[in-house]
Amino acid sequence: MKRVAIAGATGAVGTEMLKTLEKRNFPVSSLKLLASERSVGRKLVFKGKEIAVELLRPEAFDDVDIVLSSTSGTLSKQFSPAAVERGAVVVDNTSAFRMDPKVPLVVPEVNPEDIKWHNGIIANPNCSTIIANVPLFPIYKKFGLKRFVSCTYQAVSGAGAWGIEELREQTKAYLAGEPIVKNKFPHQIAFNVFSHNSAIGPDGFNEEEAKMIRETRKIFHDNSIIISATCVRVPVFRAHTEALHCELGVKASPDEIREVLSTAPGVKIIDDVPNNHFPMPIESTEEYEVRVGRIREDYLFPNGIAMLISGDQLLKGAALNAVQIAELLLNL
């Protein structure tokens, strides 16, 4: 049994962490829910019991074994080391430590062995990275992977609970013929599509795209993979979708890809050509597996394979991946 704390417990990912701990029957002996001052006193339910939210502060990590953290990167840099100093292991869902060479970056279906060399912090990768890596890694192991291009269609909940609310309110206003109010997104999200709302670097790639490139190479332990990404925000509440165009190391037919993915952990094949039924965010919502379909030869590359994938970024892209890492810690 483990003493667990969730930092950022009232956010979109934090609440999913709470639900996932319960659903997977994680052995919790005690549970602390931590958040900012405005959420202190709010009560959340875990296994039928109400638990009051406490203030996120260093002393809150006393008597805690595992911290599931989904705060901001700034807060994580402040509080994760404090938790480690008090003897806890932190599974951090922010970008604060992902590219730190001393911190393992883990997708349990890909590199579970990396948790063995942690020094108190284990990083949860970016949601789009996780969702792509789950089906790509078994293909990489079997056929090799020289390069891939990812075009993402990212749900608003990837921005947090406020993203869901902004899409909901703008949709209501649009349908009622009322003025659209932009609060946090830079552009109207209702009935619109725009480039991912993260800063663009000097190379022209935004932060979300850069994360996918750097993180995949670290997780696969292979800097030779050539990766390009274009990340886009779409008016979908939940679950990200990605179009992947890959150059494999050797030739593989679509049927051979399906055969490999049919037994891959965390993957569900949805590839019903006669009925034009392929992965969709509406069907990926609240599901653990990454759905894969539209598997076909891609003439863009030698040994090319294209596919469409979709996964719940609040679950496999965040909360579920973190809890799976915590489950791995149970066996260390």
183 backbone dihedrals φ, ψ, rounded to 5°: -100, -55
What is the length of the chain? 332
First-to-last C-alpha distance (Å) of the chain: 14
Catalytic residue, candidates 118, 196, 231, 240: 240
CA distance 175 to 167: 12
| Burial (Cβ within 10 Å: 0-12, 13-18, ≥19) of residue 25 | exposed
Strand 226-233: give its sheet, edge to edge. 194-195, 226-233, 145-154, 240-248, 304-311, 290-297, 267-269
Establish whether 240 is a catalytic residue. Answer: yes
C-alpha separations of 213 from 18, 25, 217 in Å: 30, 34, 7
Q: Please, are residues 91 and 2 in contact by the beta-carbon 8 Å criterion?
A: no
Q: Please, are residues 82 and 71 in contact by the beta-carbon 8 Å criterion?
A: no
The vertex-164 CA angle with 160 and 170, nearest 5°, equals 135
Catalytic residue, candidates 118, 127, 196, 231: 127
CA proximity to 57, closest of 67, 49, 43, 45: 67
Tokens of 181: 């109010």
Residue positions annotated with a catalytic role: 127, 240
